[in-house]
Amino acid sequence: MTAIDLDRAWDLHPLVSVRPEPFGALLYHFGTRRLSFLKDRRLLAVVQALAHAPTARAACLAAGLGEHEVPRYGRALAVLAQSSMVVGRTS
Amino acid sequence: MTATSVTSTASVTSTASVTSTASTTATASATSVPSTPTRLVDLFEYGLDAPICLTWELTYACNLACTHCLSSSGRRDPRELSTAEARAVIDELEAMQVFYVNIGGGEPTVRADFWDLLDYATAHHVGVKFSTNGVRITRQAAERLARNDYVDVQISLDGATADVNDAVRGSGSYATALRAVEHLATAGMRNYKISVVCTRHNIPQLDDFKALADRFGAQLRLTRLRPSGRGADVWDELHPTAAQQRELYDWLSAHGDNVLTGDSFFHLAGYGEPLPGLNLCGAGRVVCLIDPVGDVYACPFAIHEEFLAGNVRAPGGFREVWRGSELFRRLRGPQHGGACSSCAFYDNCKGGCMAAKFFTGLPLDGPDPECVQGYGEERLARRPPGTAHLPRPSQDHSRRAAARPVDLVLTRRPPVSECAEHPLAGLDPTLAGKGGTHA
């Protein structure tokens, strides 16, 4: 699994809806009709922080992660980027 | 018809596990971070805040009379949800973030407000996938559908040839479906489905179905024949033989994610490797059914009082039924394998399909009637003779083959609505003739 560039800005794809659930969240992409399950509440917090953070790393820290946890969450974000749930943000 | 549920799992690394899914509409994957990933199936056993796959039968009215109709459709029910009530349900689904609904029937497109409801749902962020026999999929309708990213269409076809299809779905239905498929293909509709209920007669045609779908740029979807609705009457003759089940399993295994199954064949997981999918009965946990009169059942294949959770017209609406129903709470509790728990394959098949057991008169904590280890057949053989012991669906809207004299008996009619103005509103002579109400 290749990691994503943690030092750039990311966001949820505009066609993705997020539904929090007790175990984490459900993501649905209306464009690809794919459903994803976030099996971790903190990953949900990271995903939700992406839009307002200058970088993915900053989003992780804003979500309360420690530095040592960032690589693991980065790999989870890479999985989401692969299925276009999460996309690079330019502004 | 619309089957349900979500799907498959393949761990990628110890830190991020990806669950890839060919569900009815959705392809799903799961992303996890913890070093001991929980299986999705375990999370779902306790239910979700809102369903993932919600089936909504918009009407019991249908132009066809398929012998295996799981909702015993034919005639419109006078108590059908009005346009305003249907819109209110959509508003609730939007608030609950139900991403999409599987609309079926009956034939949903014969409702005069079908296209309005479709537009209303998609404008309110509720995607729609609907099942149709194709009767109203004209060239214009196909073009309209192709333009809407939030709509997915499923054309029902139960034979790759007219003779096999029409024997079950009625004369001319193959031509109707094919015409609809041609219109969708010409309009440039992408990702639409050709949906097949697998029977003894069409399992030899699996490759032909795939070729047909490929030819028209459609995705093939295969689902299981359930003994639900009128399906109970023909199940003995139509359900696949044991050898055909194996053939189907091998065929599905070979085609992987390219063929959708709506997760309906998880009982085949008893052969060994599970098929792509959740391999879990989602009834009341991740799926449920809203029927045309607003009754909410645990799953689309279980239209029976035993699985009735409530009605969307009651105070609190659909949300209250989903979250508060006693039945759903029970279904979300830990399930026990009963007679199956000592079987080596119980973890794979989880005892199979609740509705299939129920309508064939088998205990819910025992084997599926089509258990691939053969335990279901043993149980079926031990049932009392005849069909008197079998539960009947609580709704039957089948059209009668020919007009018959109606016995007039006085019955109490269920209220139609608080302000039904027409004096005959809600009167259904056929039902009155049976001397019963539907309720």
**B401 pLDDT more than 70:** no
Which residue of A lies nearest to B13 if distances are taken between CA atoms? Answer: A1
Residue B2's pLDDT is what? 34
Q: How far is A32 from chain B (nearest CA, A)?
A: 8
- Tell the burial category of B254 from Cβ atoms under 10 Å away from its Cβ (0-12, 13-18, 19+): exposed
Which residue of B lies nearest to A69 if distances are taken between CA atoms? Answer: B33
Residue B275's pLDDT is what? 82
Q: Best mutation site among A18, A35, A72 for testing chain B: the one with the most B CBs within 10 Å?
A: A35
pLDDT digits (tens, 9 = 90+) for A9-43: 999 999 899 999 888 899 999 888 888 889 889 99
Whether B42 and chain A come into contact, CB under 8 Å, resolves to no
**B63 pLDDT more than 90:** yes
**B250 pLDDT more than 90:** yes
Confidence of residue B428 (pLDDT cuts 50, 70, 90): very low
Average the pLDDT over B74-94 and give the result: 97
Average the pLDDT over B353-359 and give the result: 96
Whether B122 and chain A come into contact, CB under 8 Å, resolves to no
Which residue of A lies nearest to B17 if distances are taken between CA atoms? Answer: A76
Contact state of B31 with A80 under an 8 Å Cβ cutoff: yes
Average the pLDDT over B433-438 and give the result: 35
Closest residue to A19, CB basis, from B17, B27, B50: B50
Average the pLDDT over B254-282 and give the result: 85
DSSP class of residue B270?
G
CB A80 within 8 A of CB A73: no
ipTM score here? Answer: 0.83
Residue A2's pLDDT is what? 65
Average the pLDDT over B207-218 and give the result: 98
**B72 pLDDT more than 60:** yes
Closest residue to A33, CB basis, from B6, B12, B26: B26
Confidence of residue B25 (pLDDT cuts 50, 70, 90): very low
Residue B371's pLDDT is what? 96
Q: How far is A31 from chain B (nearest CA, A)?
A: 7
Contact state of A79 with B49 under an 8 Å Cβ cutoff: no
pLDDT digits (tens, 9 = 90+) for A58-84: 999 999 999 999 999 999 999 999 999
Task: Give the HSE-up count for residue A3: Cα atoms under 13 Å, Cβ half-sphere.
Answer: 13
**B418 pLDDT more than 70:** no
Q: How far is A48 from chain B (nearest CA, A)?
A: 15
pLDDT digits (tens, 9 = 90+) for B87-100: 999 999 999 999 99
The lowest-confidence range among A73-82, B9-18, B298-307 is: B9-18
pTM of the model: 0.84
Q: Best mutation site among A10, A34, A39 for testing chain B: the one with the most B CBs within 10 Å?
A: A39
Average the pLDDT over B37-44 and give the result: 62
Contact state of B27 with A38 under an 8 Å Cβ cutoff: no
Whether B416 and chain A come into contact, CB under 8 Å, resolves to no
Contact state of B191 with A33 under an 8 Å Cβ cutoff: yes
Hey, which residues 22-61 in chain A have their CB within 8 Å of chain B? 22-24, 26, 28, 30-40, 42-43
Specify the long-range contacts of residues B26-29, CB closer than 8 Å, at least 24 apart: B26/A28, B26/A33, B26/A34, B26/A35, B26/B52, B26/B99, B26/B100, B27/A32, B27/A33, B27/A34, B27/A35, B27/B257, B28/A34, B28/A35, B28/A36, B28/A37, B29/A34, B29/A35, B29/A36, B29/A37, B29/A79, B29/A83
Contact state of B32 with A30 under an 8 Å Cβ cutoff: no
Average the pLDDT over B53-60 and give the result: 95
Q: How high does pLDDT run on average in chain B? A: 85
Contact state of B26 with A34 under an 8 Å Cβ cutoff: yes
CB crowding B176-206: b at 16 or more within 10 Å, else e: bbbbbbebbbebebeebbbbbbbbebbbebb
Hey, which residues 149-208 in chain B have their CB within 8 Å of chain A? 149-150, 152, 191
Cα distances from B250 to residues B158, B259, B333, in angstroms, run 20, 13, 33
Residues of chain B contacting A76 with CB distance shorter than 8 Å = 15-16, 31-33
Which domains occur in chain A, in start order?
10-84 (3.90.930)
